[in-house]
Amino acid sequence: EPTLDETIRSAESMMAAVEYFKAAGVRVVNMSWGGNQQDIEVALEANGVGDNPEQRAKIAQVLFDIGYDGLIEALASAPDILFISAASNSDVDVDFTKEIPASIDLPNVLVVGAVDQTGEETQFTSYGKNVGAHASGFEVESNVPSGTRLNFSGTSMAAPNVTNLAGKLLAIEPKLSPTDVKQLIQVSVDKSEDGRRFLINPQQAVSMLRLRPEK
């Protein structure tokens, strides 16, 4: 059941996690997760909280804003870390529905949508002005807790592909800032004619990195 105390603790844990990342010298973080205010409303209803949808919406708004603002504060406190977020699998505009973390617009956040085997957007991938890259998110071979590997689809599979590319760029040139890495990934994408899809091109990104003047 979503509660005020739980929400505050969650916001505090976000800051604690980022502080841990900073202390450990982490350069890039994959965020294959998400949520929105409606998810909280559903949880409230399932637990019998609120007399009607309007009341639950008001409660959910308060709880969501605490978590949303807490995560923004945490991510903004780590300008030397690049956070790569899954766009979500709801086929919605991440900004309109205020998906978390996909709707967070910070210089050190890169949001990733999913493409299918043809390189086109999947039917489930969310979209919007905050989505800056796309990668394979259809039937991606994935590890499961049992130790076996199964094929899964989702933006949670696409985001790690971009995280992997970011890590490789940093391995080649450790002096890159998060905004440098983000820019290299975004300027090297294969953009669709309608301007919606930005498919990562790792080879092109590495080539552009090697052409950068030394700083």
What 3-state DSSP class applies to 136? strand
What pLDDT digit, counting tens, does each position of 150-205 carry?
Answer: 999 999 999 999 999 999 999 999 999 999 999 999 999 999 999 899 999 999 99
Output the pLDDT for position 215: 61
The first and second tokens of residue 166, run together, are 């970011």
* Spans in the chain with pLDDT lower than 50: none
Rg of the chain in Å (alpha carbons): 18
pLDDT at 187: 96
Residue 22: per-residue pLDDT: 97
The Cα 198–Cα 194 span in angstroms is: 10
Give Cβ neighbours of residue 82 (< 8 Å, ≥ 6 apart).
27, 28, 29, 108, 109, 110, 166, 178, 181, 182
CA distance 36 to 92: 11
Alpha carbons within 13 angstroms on the beta-carbon side of residue 50 total 21
Give the pLDDT of residue 82. 98
Helices 155-172 and 178-187 cross at an angle (nearest 10°) of 110
Look up the pTM and report it.
Answer: 0.93
User: What pLDDT, on a 0 to 100 scale, did the predictor assign at position 207?
Assistant: 96
Chain centroid to Cα 82, Å, comes to 10
pLDDT at 39: 93
